[in-house]
Structure 1
Amino acid sequence: MKHFLIILSLFVLVKTYSQQTEYADFKTAKTDIVFGNLSKHEVSGTITYEFDILKNTDSIYVDANGFKEIASILDGKIQGKLYDGKHLIIKHPFKPNTHHKLDIVWKTSPNKAMYFIDWDYEEGNKQIWTQGQGKYTSNWLPSFDDMNEKVEFDLTITFNKDYEVIANGKLINKQINASTITWHYDMQQPMSGYLVALAIGKYDKKSEFSKSGIPLEMYYYPEDSAKFEPTYRYTKKMFDFLEEEIGVPYPWQNYKQVPVKDFLYAGMENTSTTIFADSFVIDSIAFVDKNYVNVNAHELAHQWFGDLVTETLGTHHWLQEGFATYYALLAERDIFDKDYYYWQLYEYAQELLEQDQAGQSTSLLDPKSSSTTFYKKGALVLHLLREKVGDEAFKKGVKNYLQKHQFKNVETNDFIKEVEKTSGQDLSEFVKVWLENETFQYQEVLTSLKKSKFIEGYLAVDCDVFNPKCNTYLSSNISDEAKIKVISQNSTLIKKEDFNNSLKVRQAIAKNIEEIPLELKEDYESLLSDKSYSTIEAALYNLCTNFPEDKLKYLFKTKDIQGFNNKNIRMLWIVLVLNTPGFEDVNKRAYFNELVDYTSPKYDFETRETAFSYFNAMQVFNETIIFNLINASKHHNWRFKEYSKNLLGNLKQYEKYKILITNLEQK
């Protein structure tokens, strides 16, 4: 009976998220963070909250998921250890209009939200970084999962002096100790707990200042200094553009960007500190095919839409992702041109149409909607709304919305009301059609996009059916996108003179011709010299397949090319060499071992997955590869984890691999 009463008591004490913010308002948090055994992923520290009580209550709580040790002291005298595994609960007869201080001491080894990279291995890129959105900061820091609880977090972090420590806010002091440095970061405004962040690693940094004087701090690995410019290209230009376009000054003390290994997403807009995947750290050649510009602009836009104003709950998620997607496109339009802007919107519309035709279309206000809906439909809706009310009313409405609700939480109606005020229009029908309706109104979107002569010209080109113009399209002045459409519809139309086109069109030629006509051989060979890793990869494979008698020539030409960060060209080259008798036979064992090495944890998951894919295609697996695959099946990146688990499952169907896998798993 006593056990039952304790459980019942805890159930009553733990208020729902909305109730907590009605009863208590947490103002500030001062945190001291230290790290223990890094191979065991230990983090500990103290955090001091100051808060006001709004209504009578017999308890408050702080989220703390799966902590090893946690205890509190209220107002310097009332000790507590009431903890249910997810919440630290403080029992006390709290009275309204009273101010309190809560000191918490904790220790834990988080299995998500904070990631310890490569500390189990001698080699690799040792890092620690956090990801709060979707994972909850409360897995490593006693905090609040409810995004409606906004707190000013100041982080103090002590770590090995050989590493850089980056966190939210402004670095106000570095205390040099014997073997460590204590970094003091200060925030001046409140934020939701999921936006609390830190990143630790070996970095260099370059800084610029925005037109308004905001420090822009851009981090990079010391060995990647030559990649700094193409990685961060247009950063200052986009920052200045967004401040002017949005009409509200950047709300934080500085803006930092940090690449990390094996990140869960492309990027994350932690307040003043964007963390992004280091696969976007690229050279000038890779910039053509894979660059950081859109992710850069998207996460920057979130500093206003998501960080400054934050959704109350998932129903209004488009206020963050739709806005960030739309404003990122506006920033890119300022760089690349309006044709680029309309082309991206057109591609969004095609993706949403496919979703609709598959019966998967949902309302923009459905919290269970797909990313495609939140991001891309959200952006299209803002494009259409701006068209409907006009530039001036739209921009003024956005500005008023941000200023009125800054550092607070918002719902969709908060935004719509401001645009109704500035435009003088009733937007209830617009909301019904574009926000509440599940069906995607494709034809209406297309009508809007056809106002662009670029889109109108693209749609006029069609070689799926007989069209006498098709034979001349590739040498005409139609857009590159239209030419790529022609090539994808009918690659037999390609002639020698068509190789005089742009890099993007030549890339489409490389990827769409499988059987290379002899009369195009020399022109197709020229693709191996293009400044595009995607083009070279496709051309190398197709040339070796079509003209095996010249394979050695192609291998010699591409021997020293690595490709993207995932070494796409290097690995293809190795596989081609391994399958070419008489070519560098004396080095084949070394090349094979190099390919095996790419499956190891010291490389990023994209490189490892590429290597595993090649071994799977060749159906060659030794003990080291399978050991690394088992390791990969426990990776924190769920996509890579699922890929590895599925590959292991497939290999277990073969008796020779099943026994080896079972033995290694037991070890």
Structure 2
Amino acid sequence: MRWHLLLSLLISSTALADSLHTCEHCAKHLLPAITQITPGRKYARDRRVDIEHLKLDVTPDFVRRTVAGTMTMTFSPIGLPLDKLELDAVDLAIADVQVTGAQLAEWVRSADKLALIFAAPIAPGTHISITIQYSAEPTRGLYFRTPEMGYKPGDTQVWTQGEADLHRFWFPCYDYPNERFTSEVICHAPKGMEVVSNGRLLSTTDAGDLTTWHWLQDKPHVNYLIALAAGFFHKIEDKAGTIPLALLVPPSHKDQAANAFADTRKIIEFFEKEIGVPFPWDKYYQVFCHDFLAGGMENTSCTFEASSLLFNSDTENLRSLYWLDAHETAHQWFGDLVTCRDWSHLWLNEGFASYYTVLYEEEKNGHDAMLYSLWQEAEDVLDAKDTRPTVWRDYGDPMQQFDTRVYPKGAWILHMLRSQLGPDLYRLAIRTYLERHRNGIVSTDDLHKIVEEVSGLSFDAFFDQWLYHGGFPELKVDYAWDAATKQAKITVKQTQKVTDQARLFQFPLPVGFTVKGQKEPLKFTMKITQAEEEFYFALPAQPELLRVDPDYTVLAKVDFTPPGDMLDKQLASDVIGRLLAATHLGTRKDQASVDKLAALLKEDPMEAIRTQAARSLAKIANPAARAALIASLPGQPNARCRLAVVEALSSIPHPDAQQALMKHAETEKNPGILTAIIRSWGTRPGDAAVATALARQLTTPSYQNAIAAAAISAYRAQDEPSATPAILKTLQEDPLGFRTRDYANALDTLAFLSRKEENRDEIRSFLINHLTHPKEELRTAAAKALGVLRDPKALAVLQAMLPGAGPYADPTREAASKSIQTLQAEQTGSAELKNLWNEVQQLQKKTEALQKQLGDSKKKATPTKK
């Protein structure tokens, strides 16, 4: 699942296409808390039964936004007699429970479980079938998108999102990844809609105003990968060999569909060749969903993705979906064909998907592009400075696992493994891993065993330090040349803080010397085992260039400054060498460094280097650097490089830079770059030219109103209250044209710009109206904005939202509570009263918790008997 995509992405109009894989996915942090945080280490659940098949027969009601269904499950106890079967079920109305093959004594409904108690224990191996009729108005797991909820007419849809444990909100199930079974989904949807689920379509049958779609997944998969999407879609189709491919988008986005489907067939064909295992499912569909919770979700045979990631061709190469496409497609092998047995081993899903996305980058754009992708993944890991292990059992909720430790770091772990084994042996290990555990659940030990089996080498240290401990090496590297002995001396110090969680590392660190007269660099490998070590290398002559880890095979933060003119040599080396040199030049202020960066910005054949040169010039930010950026702007045909220059100039608070951006805005046609310029105007309050331009851009039509959203963002940064009427008018005239998160940001902007106004009635009323909006994100944004507005007249409305609490967090109520606290403190101006308010809030929470416990006790005391 591509979380840190929506994660950091979804996407900002100024983000590069390749930022789709920044810590993203991390996306988990964009999601509201959906389950209670439970302390303590987490281990896999007991598997009391072997589930053989699960059948869902459901009818979604698009008007009431409810679902009625029948779940049928066949299973047999595994090793011990079974007297009770517990299923996960949250807020489901259970109408009836029937059991075949055993006698049911009673069933008991609690807040999050449905317990089936049998009259006599069921012997292991006995085949049992249970059928449960239920209905639900789900708040998680299954999501409606209808015109009544603020979506465009004709775009109606409903879709599911199961990972990590959300299916329990719309059907009773075993909601954990260590159990696999076949499944089928029967859905009765209004005629004219299309229904997509796992596996192959068995039939469609019309009955009155409904069409019944019957999908069968006859290969076992885990519960969270069950999928259902129903709605109106624009569909395009293709094939990868004999595998049917399709992409479905909301009809209002049909013009953007082809951009999202350009690489799918090529990706599957490449993965089949690279992995050595054929595509394992009957089809591969991609469904783009409104306000999806992540960048994408790899349901078996049908990935669901966020419609807000679709893009127009006028964004040139700023936007692309092949990264997301490759990531989710790789999951069809890694995560779907084999699945992590519990969430502590999530990297076996996400790390593999992330790394095979990097490998597809090499297939598509070459080895240098692959190296740059690894550079970006490494930057995410190094910037996060996370010292928790990748295999980590101390999470409070599974969603806390979806971060840099399992995505980019997981990818780098595989890259280091591949670098040590070599590509061929690595491929053998991965093919063996998939074939041996096909249609099964896996842990990190399963991969470890196979790597050692095929290589004959011990990887104990590798897996222990990279998977079961945290952090990464931080290296201080020094170099000296002894002319008398013709020896190069390299000193390596590990400078990271050593703890029980992050230890000293033992690893091979390659080094390369370029010596005049030698056709190829002389390469050696240093075995790093200590906190500080010295290494000596006999060379035929003093090296012209020294590269630490020249082939980019180690995830480490390396502090090494090339001495003398080595830096100039590095500027003419490979892509990583040039990136390192361009980054280092950004720490200098001399004219020579500016000239070198300006040359890179103008002449380097790779956009990644030109982009880094622009960033380094922005760090220098002296007149010469500024002039070099301004001079390069008109002549940058590559959109990513042009955007990098725009962002670099935006970071320099000088009239020359601002004037260059204003002039460029008059001719720039790429909306992604234009929105970056518009956002930069937020630093220029009181500028008449900017005020005129912003007013014009606020009403400029654009895909998903991206330009208007950028103008609203600039107005907020300027703190320009005079813009409030125009912003309000724009939101009222075209509320459906904005992405939900942009509209939510605009609500916050309205409140912020009006907070000091004497009369805030109109804005307060507008925000209060959104407290009952069907979109949770907008309800939450409105509740938060009322606190930003600082209008005490909103207190009564917000306080009315607080009564009632459940076991799952309500982000709107939480936002209302924080806004009440802010308004109460503003109103009284008394620290004492503010403290009293805090005490009242805590007392209310305790009361609600006690009420819930009492309610649960009553439910347990009076079980429902059938």
What is the TM-score with the length of structure 1 in the denominator? 0.86
Query: Is 517-526 or 49-58 further displaced after alignment?
Result: 517-526
Matches of 2:430 and 2:471 in 1, distance apart?
26
1:201 maps to what in 2? 231
Q: Any conservation in 2 of the 1:132–1:194 contact (CA below 8 Å)?
A: yes
**2:188 matched to 1:158?**
yes
Give the Å deviation of 1:644: 4.9
The equivalent position to 2:745 in structure 1, one of 570, 595, 610, is 610
Report how many aligned residue pairs link the two structures. 635
Query: Is 345-354 or 408-417 further displaced after alignment?
Result: 345-354
Query: Is 246-255 or 113-122 further displaced after alignment?
Result: 113-122
Matched residue SS, 1:372: coil
The equivalent position to 1:84 in structure 2, one of 104, 109, 131, is 109
Change in Cα spacing, 1:119 to 1:227, as seen in structure 2 (3 Å) is closer
Give the Å deviation of 1:70: 4.2
The equivalent position to 1:475 in structure 2, one of 599, 602, 605, is 599
Matched residue SS, 1:608: helix
**2:589 matched to 1:466?**
yes
2:406 maps to what in 1? 374
**2:131 matched to 1:103?**
yes
Q: Deviations over 1:268-314 (max 9, x none)?
A: 11111111111111111336334322222111111111111111112
2:730 maps to what in 1? 594
Change in Cα spacing, 1:386 to 1:578, as seen in structure 2 (3 Å) is closer
2:549 maps to what in 1? 447
2:648 maps to what in 1? 512
Q: Deviations over 1:200-223 (max 9, x none)?
A: 22102111101x321111001223
Matches of 1:17 and 1:103 in 2, distance apart?
29
Change in Cα spacing, 1:65 to 1:555, as seen in structure 2 (3 Å) is closer
Matched residue SS, 1:175: strand
Give the Å deviation of 1:517: 4.5
Matched residue SS, 1:218: strand
Q: Deviations over 1:475-506 (max 9, x none)?
A: 34342233223233134413353121332232
**2:210 matched to 1:171?**
no
**2:367 matched to 1:338?**
yes
Matched residue SS, 2:92: coil
Question: CA RMSD of the aligned region, Å?
Answer: 3.5
Matches of 2:308 and 2:710 in 1, distance apart?
19
Report the residue type matching 1:609 in the other structure.
A
Matches of 1:268 and 1:497 in 2, distance apart?
44
Q: Any conservation in 1 of the 2:256–2:311 contact (CA below 8 Å)?
A: yes
Query: Is 329-338 or 269-278 further displaced after alignment?
Result: 329-338
Give the Å deviation of 1:382: 0.4
1:306 maps to what in 2? 335
Matched residue SS, 1:459: helix
Give the Å deviation of 1:573: 4.7
Report the residue type matching 1:458 in the other structure.
L
Q: How does 1:248-287 map to 2 (within 5 A)?
A: 248-286=277-315
1:246 maps to what in 2? 275
Matched residue SS, 1:331: helix
Q: Deviations over 1:563-608 (max 9, x none)?
A: 453x23124457889999xxxx9x997764222456x588542231
Q: Any conservation in 1 of the 2:588–2:620 contact (CA below 8 Å)?
A: no
Query: Is 456-465 or 339-348 further displaced after alignment?
Result: 339-348
Report the residue type matching 1:116 in the other structure.
F
Q: Deviations over 1:247-276 (max 9, x none)?
A: 111111001111111111111111111111
Q: Any conservation in 2 of the 1:165–1:200 contact (CA below 8 Å)?
A: yes
Report the residue type matching 1:569 in the other structure.
I
1:362 maps to what in 2? 388
Give the Å deviation of 1:344: 2.6
2:503 maps to what in 1? none
1:136 maps to what in 2? 166
Q: Any conservation in 2 of the 1:488–1:512 contact (CA below 8 Å)?
A: yes
1:181 maps to what in 2? 211
The equivalent position to 2:428 in structure 1, one of 383, 396, 401, is 396
1:535 maps to what in 2? 673
What is the TM-score with the length of structure 2 in the denominator? 0.67
Give the share of equivalent positions with the same residue, in percent: 24
Bigger Rg, which one? 2
Q: Any conservation in 2 of the 1:626–1:661 contact (CA below 8 Å)?
A: no
The equivalent position to 1:497 in structure 2, one of 614, 631, 634, is 631
Matched residue SS, 1:187: strand
In the alignment, structure 1 segments of 5+ residues that lack a partner are: 1-15
1:4 maps to what in 2? none
Matched residue SS, 2:404: helix
Matched residue SS, 1:366: coil
Give the Å deviation of 1:391: 0.5
Greater relative CO (CA pairs within 8 A, separation 6+): 2
Change in Cα spacing, 1:655 to 1:636, as seen in structure 2 (3 Å) is closer
Give the Å deviation of 1:176: 1.2
Q: Any conservation in 2 of the 1:227–1:282 contact (CA below 8 Å)?
A: yes
Give the Å deviation of 1:142: 1.9
1:385 maps to what in 2? 417
Matches of 1:440 and 1:434 in 2, distance apart?
8
1:627 maps to what in 2? 768
The equivalent position to 1:411 in structure 2, one of 443, 447, 450, is 443
In the alignment, structure 2 segments of 5+ residues that lack a partner are: 1-41, 396-400, 476-508, 511-547, 554-572, 755-759, 804-866
The equivalent position to 1:421 in structure 2, one of 434, 453, 465, is 453
Q: Deviations over 1:105-151 (max 9, x none)?
A: 22222221111223644754432111111233122112211211211
Matched residue SS, 2:182: strand
Q: Any conservation in 2 of the 1:26–1:51 contact (CA below 8 Å)?
A: yes
